[in-house]
Amino acid sequence: MKSLTAKQLAEWEEYSKIDPIGKWREDYRLAYLAMLITNLTIQVHGKRGAQLAKFEDFLLEWDSEGTKTTSTKQQSVEDMRSVLMSLAASQNKKVRKTPPKKVMK
């Protein structure tokens, strides 16, 4: 603050009126909201002792060029197939199979 001139300080005050919080703060708000929803879901539907998500898991990491940096592992076709088959199997257990009603004419 000591190195700013009065004109620069006035410019920053005007900028603060236009965008008082800043775009970077929106990332933090959304990350917190995503963490909260995820942790509530884990607590309601997860197993006992399941690890809760951390705030940092949902923060976006942008490099200097504006693209997101990721180092995710490529999932194989067999992995995808096994996940989908297990989901289908779990859903099929929940469906009660009743024969269709016969309509009399």
Query: What is the tens place of the pLDDT at every residue in 8-47?
Result: 888 888 887 777 666 677 888 899 999 999 999 999 998 8
Share of the chain above pLDDT 90, in %: 20
CA distances from 29 to 9, 34, 50, 55, 56 (A): 27, 9, 24, 10, 12
Domain residue ranges in the chain: 22-59
**Residue 31 pLDDT:** 92
Task: Tell me the range of 18-22, 68-72, 93-97 where mean pLDDT is highest.
Answer: 18-22
Pairwise CA distance, residues 49 & 21, whole Å: 37
Element (H, E) at 36: helix 23-45
Residue type, 91: Q
pTM score, whole prediction: 0.42
Q: Residue 51: name the closest of 34, 36, 39 by CA.
A: 39
Q: Residue 58: name the closest of 23, 21, 33, 22 by CA.
A: 33
